[in-house]
Amino acid sequence: MPKASTYKANSVIYFQGDVGDRIYILQSGTVSLNSNDIETGEEIHDQIKTGEFFGVKSALGKYPREENAVVLTDAAVVVFSVPEFEQLALSNTRIVMKMLKVFSNQLRRLHTKVSGLMQGGAQSSPEDGLFRIGEYYMRKKQYAQAVYAFNKYLTYYPSGRHQAEASRHAETAEQFAQKYGSGKGPAAPGFQGGSHGNGETDGGRNAGGAASGGGGQNLSDSAKAYYEAVSSFSREEFAKALEQFKQVAASGGDEEYVLKSTFEIGRCLFGLERYDAVIKHYTGLIQKFPKLPDLTEALFYLGRAYQESGDTARAASFFKKILSMEDVDEGLRRKVNKAVRALEGN
């Protein structure tokens, strides 16, 4: 049975972070739900009206309370357990309908805010996205699904930029579905090469609109090899990582990963305690790329390598140089300071 309960002014019915399975209706008095705005940290005071429910979401959803429920003037409440509340809700749909409206409004507002903060460029436009789903199913020879996606595309974007292609593909997909059935037959024209054709045809298209979205999904071979190597490095298998990075660096593939790998070679050498090689590697690299993006880190490894090989004077001059530079990563600055202290201790 729901219980009536009273609270004195300045008491707290529940605290933020509490796990509670009680739902309340305010009968009389004043209760304020206090929380902090997620975005600004500002305090929010939300006064409960008489007859209003509170504590519903966290109790139903079984998650911690999101606010402090503070009693401002002496208050009387009715307390429900979740099963009691459900009982009430089932016999009184009006309550649920009203709450559905409130919740869906909250959800809509949150949803808008979240979408607004998602990286704009990282997501394809719905139009491109829908078209690409069709292409995906074409490549997989899932013709019924391809027909569905292309037809939806043509319904929603009758004069869209992929309109001509979509209607051509929809027709082909339909023919192939009838002729060969799903997952069978030769690849449709334009979709030869099966699942691997993707890299070429799609890559070009992605480059225009959704470069960052597509980029992550179709990792190039050099990227894959690079992350393999990073993974070895993170396990401190430096010798293996060194070989892997060397291969990427020599592959002549994606320039970004060639450069990154070239840089990492030095760190592997350092891990292997081959300090002469570290010095040679980074000195050469800096000469070749004076504007190396990771210049400060390269200088740090040079300094550390000299330090380890006993040339403290050279080491100190490298560390000094880093500390004099602007735009040094906080973490690196700390490492350099630590290395300098170690030098001074010598």
Binding site for other proteins (CB under 8 A): 36, 38-41, 56-58, 60-61, 63, 66, 86, 89-91, 93, 96-97, 99-100, 103-104, 106-108, 110-111, 113-114, 117-119, 121-122, 124, 126-127, 129-130, 132-133, 136, 139-140, 144-145, 148-149, 152, 156, 182, 195, 198, 212, 215-219, 227-228, 230-231, 233-235, 267, 331
CA-to-CA distance for 298 and 260, rounded, in angstroms?
12
CB of 310 to other proteins, least distance (A): 25
Cβ closer to other proteins: 180 or 227?
227
Dihedral angle computed from the Cα positions of residues 282, 285, 286 and 291, in that order, rounded to the nearest 10 degrees: -130
DSSP string, 168-209: HHHHHHHHHHHHT-TT-SSPPTT-TTGGGTHHHHHHHHHHHS
CB of 30 to other proteins, least distance (A): 25
CB of 130 to other proteins, least distance (A): 4
CB of 70 to other proteins, least distance (A): 18
CA-to-CA distance for 13 and 34, rounded, in angstroms?
12
Q: For residue 1, what are its two tokens? A: 């049975």
Partners of 77 in beta bridges: 5, 26
Number of residues in the chain: 346
Cβ closer to other proteins: 48 or 75?
48
CB of 290 to other proteins, least distance (A): 22
Cβ closer to other proteins: 72 or 95?
95
User: What is the Cα 326 distance to its own chain's centre?
Assistant: 30
CB of 85 to other proteins, least distance (A): 9
Of 27, 30, 81, 92, residue with least CA distance to 55: 81
Of 255, 305, 256, 253, residue with least CA distance to 276: 305
